Amino acid sequence: NICQICLDMVKQARDQLQSNETQQEELKEVFEGECKLIPIKIVTKECIKLADDFVPELVETLSSQMNPQAVCSV
């Protein structure tokens, strides 16, 4: 049924987020690209460091709080 399909899809997405290093690298590249738009080098370097530190936490938070039952009850 449609509910079971939804649950399976959300579980797969959560598992993918938790295990896929490529996605983390792609996110880092996006954030670092934005940081490089800052014209002040010292701020750019700090921004890149923050992005590198932040991305793993962001992915962990997203994947750990992606509750299939909550998502599929909408």
Are 54 and 31 in contact, with CB atoms under 8 Å apart? yes
Q: 70 and 50 in contact (C-beta within 8 Å)?
A: no
Q: Contact, 27 vs 55, CB < 8 A?
A: yes
**44-65 per-position pLDDT tens digit:** 999 999 888 888 887 777 777 7
Tens of pLDDT, residue by residue over 14-44, are 777 777 766 778 888 888 998 999 999 999 9
- 61 vs 5, which has greater pLDDT? 5
Is residue 44 a contact partner of residue 38, using CB atoms and an 8 Å limit? yes
Among residues 24, 17, 19, 15, the alpha carbon closest in space to that of 51 is found at 24
CB-CB contact of 63 with 17 (8 Å): yes
Q: Where are the chain's structural domains?
A: 2-72
Q: State the pLDDT at residue 44.
A: 92
